[in-house]
Amino acid sequence: MSGSNSITLDSCANDYRWSERWASGLLKLTGVGLLILACGFYVVPHVAKLQTAFYLTLLLPALLLLMTRRDLSFLLSWQFVVFCTLPLLLAISSLWASSEEADIQREFSYYLKVTLYLALFYVALYLTLEKHGDKILVRIFQWLIPIGIISCAISLINYVVAGGLESFRRIGGISLEGDIDKTGMLYGFLALFCCYGLTLGKYWRWLSWTGLLLCCIYILLSQTKIPIVMVLVAIILATLISGGSRWLKALLLVGGVIALPLIYLAIYGDLPLLHRDIAYSARIDLWLMTFNQFAESPLVGSGLMYKQFLNLGPAVLPHPHNYLFDIARFTGLIGVTAALAQLFAAAWPMRHRRTWTQWIPGLYAIWLGFGVLAMLIYAQQPLVKPSYIWFFYWIPLAVLLARSQLTSRINADHPNPKFQN
């Protein structure tokens, strides 16, 4: 991958009814809010505090900017419509959900409120990108890398101090309530982000190699399958972009890709993707049960329920650990179509080689790709308040769609733009 071409319109003075000073101040606050939201997933122990930060630094400024914006035509773009259609369908489907079948139910107003949160998040991101361009997207990685490394180091220290190495029990991070799979994914993403750090200079190279090593250690101890794949991809990518001779690169590549599974085999007596294979059979049972629920109303689903537990006999689980199956059982084929439309819309701007080979937006596309993979293995339907699902899915999706919207606008306004999709 290579450096990114920048997008920016740098418009503020004429776009808002308030003075340029106030509008610029609010846009700076949304930029800070984006950094707090992204980085908070690595350091905030309980997601409720992260939600509070979201309300204060993103939701409120976005609402004020929207109320004072002169031109609201950007809300009519197909990107914004695609982004909001799935949450809106999920919210509306709650109107025909049976309260008798739900274990826990919420009113339609609750889901409509969460849909509004997502819409305003997109607005905040779009307006920030409009003002600052790709610089804010680069800044997010420049903050995520060091904060993620510190988080990973503290998690490993806590693990060692608590005697985790005595039995090699699975490690949980310091954030997201210490959930093993979710924090494992966070550090899988961090390994990929560190690959970008290798391109930023000497200090960043040392920091990023350190981060990549810590992520490898953490993910080996977490025994989480998708992050192991992410680390292998990160090792390959880091080797390809690092300096040195071809022989040195080949040695690093083969050593990294082979050494990781062998170390895992030595510690746990099994290969990474074969270890704890009971997880595969349990998910298949979950998905079959969910598919049967979907088959009862395949077009519009049974309607969104806050919690509809799935009884597997020895265990009762709150969702099928697959966001598409969860969407299917609640909103049917209509909801699944809306979800697939989001993925297609995000992938469409990446169809040109010159786009996906740039770190920005290429790394965000990789972020979304592995996030979707995680959503297909770990997650529920995505209409939720800020939580791990936002980091896995909504943040990279919004970045790709909002950036696509801005580049389309630049291409329409300028015959020979510096950046083209």
pLDDT digits (tens, 9 = 90+) for 388-402: 999 999 999 999 999
The answer to whether 94 and 304 have CB atoms below 8 angstroms apart is yes
The answer to whether 394 and 86 have CB atoms below 8 angstroms apart is no
Quote the distance between the C-alpha of residue 110 and its chain's center. 23
Q: Residue 408: give the domain boundaries.
A: 20-413
- The dihedral through the CA atoms of 184, 189, 192, 196 has a sign that is negative
**pLDDT band for position 257 (50/70/90)?**
confident
Partner residues linked to 310 by β-bridges: 317
pLDDT at 419: 42
Check whether 277 has a pLDDT greater than 90.
no
pLDDT at 412: 75
Is cis: bond before 386, omega within 30 of 0?
no
Q: Is residue 293 part of a domain?
A: yes
pLDDT at 84: 98
Cβ-based neighbour number of residue 281 at 10 Å: 9
pLDDT at 252: 76
- Can you tell me the distance from the alpha carbon of 131 to that of 134, in angstroms, rounded to the nearest whole number? 10
Q: Is residue 12 part of a domain?
A: no
- Taking residues 89-98, report their average pLDDT: 96
- Taking residues 148-153, report their average pLDDT: 98
Count the alpha carbons within 13 Å of 187 in the hemisphere toward its beta carbon.
38
Q: Is residue 227 part of a domain?
A: yes
The answer to whether 57 and 30 have CB atoms below 8 angstroms apart is yes
The answer to whether 204 and 228 have CB atoms below 8 angstroms apart is no
Our CA angle for 221, 225, 227, nearest 5°, is 75
Q: Is residue 11 part of a domain?
A: no
Q: Determine the residue type at 4.
A: S
Check whether 418 has a pLDDT greater than 60.
no
Into how many domains does the chain fold?
A: 1
Check whether 172 has a pLDDT greater than 90.
yes
Q: Is residue 357 part of a domain?
A: yes
The answer to whether 254 and 222 have CB atoms below 8 angstroms apart is no
Rounded alpha-carbon distances, angstroms, from residue 347 to 65, 337, 395:
29, 15, 15
Our CA angle for 229, 231, 233, nearest 5°, is 70
Q: Is residue 204 part of a domain?
A: yes
Q: Token pair of 55, please? A: 């309300």
| Percent of the chain with pLDDT strictly greater than 90 | 72
pLDDT at 18: 79
**pLDDT band for position 250 (50/70/90)?**
confident
Q: Which of 315, 324, 306 is nearest to 285 (CA)?
A: 315
Check whether 28 has a pLDDT greater than 50.
yes
**Counts for the chain of helices (H) and strands (E), in that order:** 17, 2
Q: Is residue 6 part of a domain?
A: no
Using DSSP, state whether 240 is helix, strand or coil: helix
Q: Is residue 278 part of a domain?
A: yes
